[in-house]
Chain A
Amino acid sequence: MGGTEHIHQRLIEACKRGKDKARFELYQLYSRAMFNVCYRMMNNREEAEDMLQEAFIQAFTKLDTFRYESSFGAWLKRIVINTCINAKNKRKVELTYSEEIFNYDQPETGEDEEELQFTVAGVTRAMELLPERGRMVFSLYLLEGYDHGEIAQIMNITESTSKSQFMRAKRHIVKILKENTGGIPLTKNKDYGN
């Protein structure tokens, strides 16, 4: 956390004063990253857009409370994730049921591991097939950069649940990739391959 975190201070101050142009600029700066966060949380494009919209409206309304204690991105991301979690909690029934559909506690075979090539598209697709909680924990930990303590707080679960969900999710993604490709990447994209 250095001097860069207040890089948009002027812009943020202009937004606080209600300048439309500044708001649009701030939106352009963060909307793409935040939309992808929404998508990973909701697993649905339309719902992700709704969440993005709601989160930005909320952020602009309570921008006065942003005091540069964290980076703006981190502040906004927290609003985005909370918006998504709240929306998900409204439909909690779906969330709990989805856990039982997959049995992803199988031990790893681990024999033909040199075969598997990861690609961004392949991993993204596999993430979409994960059960809700596993997908959330996986993206919150690996992509959004929260630790298990923070995830526990965000998702209202214990830290050890977060850790075990993450382990399962990783194994599950590997399994999906193997099943779907037979060792061959879903999309051949040399830029992302190992």
Chain B
Amino acid sequence: METDRLEEFVRNNRRGFDQLEPSQKVWENISAASKKTKTRRLNVYLLRVAAVFIVVLVTSVMLYKSTILSPGYSEIIDDPEMRELMEAETFYAQQVSGKLKEIRKCYSTFPELKVEIESDLTELEFMYNELKNDLRENISNKAVIEAMIDNNRKRLKLVDEVLDQINC
């Protein structure tokens, strides 16, 4: 049958049927259109980045408001005793960490020092955190604050004494 021969002929010469070539302008148009979508994509990307930034900003502002500016916290700042405590805390913390740095330099000469001083300091810190919790629960404010400052002083005294004893 001729129709079967036709079918066979087309199958055998499949490649020959792709003779035409598209003109140059087709690619030019595709390329131009793809560039448009690319810039749109870039814009979408920038928008996403901006959205994430805004979300982060809003959350941090809200967090700031809810913690730092919460009634409890503003009370602390308003209360002169509390303010004093906070200042003291920063002062002692700086002193202790500065002196601890000096002491740490001597660990190689006095290895046993490390265990002793650091365990003492950890213990004091643990006590301090307990006091902080008490303060948050409003247990006898004045006494607690005094205990806290005392705790800080003890830590400074500890590192001072150690520094005096070792001379390296």
A residues sitting closer than 8 Å to B (CB atoms) are 18, 20, 23-24, 27, 31-33, 35-36, 39-40, 45, 48-49, 52-53, 56-57, 60-61, 108, 110, 113, 116, 118, 120, 123-124, 142-143, 167, 170-171, 173-174, 191-192, 194
Contacts and interface: CB of A to CB of B under 8 A. Distances in A.
A49 B26 contact: yes
A174 B2 contact: yes
Given A31-B22, A60-B37, A174-B2, 14 more contacts: A20-B34, A23-B30, A32-B18, A32-B22, A40-B17, A48-B22, A49-B26, A53-B29, A60-B34, A61-B37, A108-B1, A113-B1, A120-B16, A120-B17
Chain B residues touching A, range: 20 to 34
B23 interface: yes
B9 A118 contact: yes
A116 B3 CA distance: 11
B20 interface: yes
A19 to B, nearest CB: 10
B14 A192 contact: no
Interface string B144-163: 00000000000000000000
Interface of B: 1-3, 5-7, 9-11, 13-14, 16-23, 25-27, 29-31, 33-35, 37-38, 41
A155 to B, nearest CB: 19
A144 B79 CA distance: 85
A18 B38 CA distance: 7
Contacts of B13: 120, 192
Contacts of B26: 31, 35, 49, 52-53, 56
Contacts of A56: 26, 30
Nearest to A38: B22
Contacts of A142: 7, 10-11
A57 B3 contact: no
B20 A60 contact: no
9 contacts: A23-B31, A31-B27, A40-B17, A56-B26, A113-B1, A120-B13, A120-B19, A170-B7, A194-B5
B141 to A, nearest CB: 62
Contacts of B37: 57, 60-61
B84 to A, nearest CB: 60
Closest 3 CB pairs of A and B: A120-B16, A170-B3, A35-B22
Contact of B18 (A36, A57, A108): A36
Contacts of B41: 18
A110 B2 contact: yes
B40 to A, nearest CB: 10
Contact of A36 (B9, B20, B34, B38): B20
A124 B3 contact: no
Contact of B20 (A35, A61, A108): A35
A123 B29 CA distance: 32
Contacts of A108: 1-3
Scoring B2, B14, B27 by chain A CB atoms within 10 A of each residue's CB, the highest score goes to B2
Contacts of A60: 30, 34, 37
Nearest to B38: A18
A143 B17 contact: yes
